[in-house]
Amino acid sequence: MSERDIDFLLDLYKQPYVKGEKRSNDTKNKINIESKRKNRHLILDELLLEAKILVLTPNQKQLVRDLIDDFNSDFQNLHRQASEECIILAFIFFVKKLETPRIKLSNYRITKKYKLTDQIFENILCRLALKFMQRVPIVPRQTSKDAHDVLIREGKR
What pLDDT is attached to residue 118? 94
Averaged over 43-49, what is the pLDDT?
93
What pLDDT is attached to residue 52? 83
Tell me how far apart the alpha carbons of residues 77 and 128 are, in angstroms, rounded to a whole number.
10
Tell me how far apart the alpha carbons of residues 95 and 66 are, in angstroms, rounded to a whole number.
11
What pLDDT is attached to residue 145? 59
- 136 or 154, which is more confident: 136
pTM of the model: 0.74
What pLDDT is attached to residue 127? 94
Tell me how far apart the alpha carbons of residues 121 and 141 are, in angstroms, rounded to a whole number.
33
Decide if 124 contacts 87 (C-beta within 8 A): yes
Of 15-29, 38-52, 121-135, minimum mean pLDDT range? 15-29
What pLDDT is attached to residue 82? 92
Residue 16 has pLDDT above 90, yes or no: no
pLDDT class for 81, splitting at 50, 70, 90?
A: very high
